[in-house]
Amino acid sequence: MRRVAGIVVLLLVAFAAYEWITFPNVAPLKDQWPKTTAFMELRKRELRAEGKDDTLLYQPVAYARISPYLRRGALVAEDNEFYEHKGVDVEALKAAIRKDLEKKKLTQGGSTITMQLAKNLYLNPSRNPLRKIEEYFIARSLENHLSKKRILELYLNVVEMGERVYGAEAASQFYFHTSASALTPSQAALLAGCLPNPREMNPGAPNKRLRARERMILARMRRWGYLFEEEVLTPPTPKKNAPPPPELEQTPPTDTATPAPTQTTTSTETTETTETNESQPPPQTTTTQ
Domain of 266: which CATH number? 1.10.3810.10
Whole domain around residue 128: which residue ranges? Answer: 28-232+254-287
DSSP type of residue 110? -
Residue 87 inside a domain? The answer is: yes
Q: Which residues of 201-233 are buried (b: 16+ CB within 10 A; e: fewer)?
A: bbbeebeeebeebbeebbebbeeebeebbeeeb
Q: Choose between 126 and 31: higher pLDDT.
A: 31
For residue 219, is pLDDT > 90?
Answer: yes
Residue 13 inside a domain? The answer is: no
Residue 32 inside a domain? The answer is: yes
Highest mean pLDDT among 16-20, 218-222, 232-236, 238-242: 218-222
Residue 11 inside a domain? The answer is: no
Kindly calculate the radius of gyration of the chain based on its CA atoms and give it in whole angstroms. 20
For residue 224, the one-letter residue type is W
Q: Is 99 helix (H, G, I), strand (E, B) or coil?
A: helix
Q: How many domains does the chain divide into?
A: 1
pLDDT for 51-82, tens place per residue?
999 999 999 999 999 999 999 999 999 998 89
Please name the residue ranges forming H helices in the chain: 2-22, 38-49, 68-78, 90-103, 113-122, 129-145, 148-158, 168-171, 185-193, 208-220, 226-227
Rounded to two decimals, the pTM is 0.71
Terminal Cα distance for the chain, rounded: 56
Residue 187 inside a domain? The answer is: yes
As a whole number of angstroms, the distance between CA 83 and CA 75 comes to 9
The predicted structure's pLDDT at residue 251: 39
In this structure, how many other beta carbons lie within 10 angstroms of the beta carbon of residue 38? Answer: 18
Residue 97 pLDDT level (bands cut at 50, 70, 90): low
Q: Choose between 254 and 136: higher pLDDT.
A: 136
Q: Which residue in 170, 182, 216, 213 sits closest to 195, CA to CA?
A: 213
Overall size of the chain counted in residues: 289
Task: Give Dmax over CA atoms of the chain in angstroms.
Answer: 71
Residue 198 inside a domain? The answer is: yes
DSSP letters, 50-78, are: TT-----EE----GGGS-HHHHHHHHHHH
As a whole number of angstroms, the distance between CA 155 and CA 56 comes to 17
Residue 244 inside a domain? The answer is: no
As a whole number of angstroms, the distance between CA 139 and CA 26 comes to 10
Average of per-residue pLDDT across 207-218: 96
Residue 148 inside a domain? The answer is: yes
